[in-house]
Amino acid sequence: MSWPKLERRKAALVAARDLRDAISELRLIAAMVALTLAIPIGAGSGVRALAAFGGGTAVVNRLSLVGAFFVVFIPASFSLVLALESFVGERERTTLEVLLSTPLREAEIYAGKVVAVLAVALTLCYGGLIVYCLVAFPGLGYFPIGILLALALSTICQVAAMVSGAVIISLNARTMRAANVMASFIILPMSLVLQLEAALILLGRAEFLWCFALLMTVVAVVLLRMGFSGFSRETLLARDVGLRHPLRRAIGAVRASFDQRPAFPRLVWMRRIPMLLAALGFPIGALAGYLAGSTGAVPAVVVRPVLSSLVRSAGSGGAFEEAIAIFAHNVLALIFVAVLAILTVGLSGFLLTFAPGFLLGFAAALTSWTVALTGIVPNGLVEIPAAIIAGGLAIQVGATTIHMDASGGWSARVLKALADYVRALRWLVPALAVAAVLEVWLG
């Protein structure tokens, strides 16, 4: 599907309107000034004070990078508040109907909202970063231009992803309170992303940050496409209807998701493409694991404990207890994959086959392919197909998650994909029980 058509001039009108609202309150202006000046000056002064009182060159250099990340991160989090308020705030101020009654296209309204929040957020981020660099680095004898440029680019992508997701939430929320609660679906993943970015900054490797920026670019583009595809005047205004009995409506939606679903053989055939992607995860993981083990890219001391823990997870009791432990471990893995499928956009389904393939390849690099393959026979003949089916259905859940339509129905589509996964467990769970028995008595 192509990007929707829009006139930049009309989108700029919406953006200018939102920017005027953002800077019309004295409290917001005070917060923006503090984010741009006070915090960067304080952080930069702390780095200079540490350098002046002999904190050590290596320590000062590392803390200067942490400070740069710190002054960029806080304004980025401020953008989340503005984005959450973009549509649901208009609803509570009773100005949404006026905006939607204009002759502007949906894409122009949506793009104007996103651009307004991005303009404020990136101005604060880069303003704070520039102030921090002017305070912290002159006379320090250290200026990591490559890392700072990578940080600046990753900030654009990170803020764009955060804003895109928050605007989608603002579209689907009826009240600001509901939007704040739903914001946890952005805050939790972004907290992990920020921890990863902080670790990459501490490593001091700019190329890792470039790869991180590329990944965040993909996420931002996907979320922007979701927002453009799911924005509709009629659907947005119709969300005021049918607010009573939420529990009853939720139960009805779950019950409807299981109605008229295909039988298991038909379901496998219908989802053959995502299952093919899941099946490719095993050989790709095996190749990656073998290369990582044979080249020493991943130290053996890192993976050996994982392999040992998997062996010990079988249990130290009798055959029955070992079979129960293996079965419970595999069933829990399928459950976690389904839970994480929405948040990871189906990546957990690919990892369900990639991870065991990686361990197999790594074990083959340490020993031989014969020894490694012997360890997964005969139980692997049952476990691997079950993992491929479950992984493919999880990938389908992720694909459904990022698909939005102007007519709505996102929740119904996701529930139907999850219902297919749950119905498939009726076949997959007995298969895992058979695999556990084979591993204990014949392995």
Confidence of residue 393 (pLDDT cuts 50, 70, 90): very high
* Per-residue pLDDT reduced to its tens digit, 428-439: 999 999 888 887
Question: Of residues 278 and 404, which shows the higher confidence score?
Answer: 278
CB 239 within 8 A of CB 171: no
Confidence of residue 85 (pLDDT cuts 50, 70, 90): confident
Q: What is the pLDDT of residue 280?
A: 93
pLDDT for 391 beyond 60: yes
Mean pLDDT along residues 104-133: 86
Give the DSSP letter of residue 36: I
**Which residues are CB-neighbours of 188 under 8 A, at least 6 positions away?**
343
pLDDT for 344 beyond 70: yes
Confidence of residue 65 (pLDDT cuts 50, 70, 90): confident
Mean pLDDT is lowest, of 197-201, 330-334, 429-433, for 197-201
To which H or E segment does residue 135 belong? helix 106-136
Return d(Cα 87, Cα 108) in angstroms, integer: 14
Residue (of 310, 286, 305, 288) closest to 297 by Cα position: 288
Side-chain-side CA neighbours of 285 within 13 Å: the count stands at 19
Best mean pLDDT range from 9-23, 198-212, 239-253, 425-439: 425-439
Mean pLDDT along residues 386-399: 92
Both tokens of 423, joined, read 């119905």
Query: What are the sequence ranges of the domains in the chain?
Result: 8-238, 246-441
Q: What is the mean pLDDT of the chain?
A: 81
Q: What is the pLDDT of residue 78?
A: 74
Mean pLDDT is lowest, of 118-132, 181-195, 305-319, for 305-319
Return d(Cα 36, Cα 47) in angstroms, integer: 17
Question: Of residues 76 and 105, which shows the higher confidence score?
Answer: 105
pLDDT for 111 beyond 80: yes
Place of tokens 């520039």: 130
Best mean pLDDT range from 4-8, 50-54, 261-265: 261-265
Mean pLDDT along residues 344-366: 87
Question: Of residues 56 and 149, which shows the higher confidence score?
Answer: 149
Question: Of residues 337 and 5, which shows the higher confidence score?
Answer: 337
CB 440 within 8 A of CB 318: no
Confidence of residue 287 (pLDDT cuts 50, 70, 90): very high
Q: What is the pLDDT of residue 241?
A: 47
End-to-end CA distance of the chain: 50
pLDDT for 389 beyond 50: yes
Range list of H helices, 204-271: 206-230, 233-238, 246-257, 264-270
Residue (of 278, 316, 288) closest to 393 by Cα position: 278
Q: What is the pLDDT of residue 430?
A: 92
Question: Of residues 152 and 410, which shows the higher confidence score?
Answer: 152
Mean pLDDT along residues 21-28: 74
Question: Of residues 389 and 55, which shows the higher confidence score?
Answer: 389
Mean pLDDT along residues 6-20: 83
pLDDT for 240 beyond 70: no
Return d(Cα 188, Cα 159) in angstroms, integer: 15
Return d(Cα 358, Cα 370) in angstroms, integer: 16
pLDDT for 245 beyond 60: yes
**Which residues are CB-neighbours of 377 under 8 A, at least 6 positions away?**
none
Mean pLDDT is lowest, of 89-98, 115-124, 357-366, for 89-98
Q: What is the pLDDT of residue 218?
A: 83
* Per-residue pLDDT reduced to its tens digit, 152-169: 888 888 888 888 888 888
Mean pLDDT along residues 369-393: 85
pLDDT for 337 beyond 80: yes
Question: Of residues 412 and 390, which shows the higher confidence score?
Answer: 390
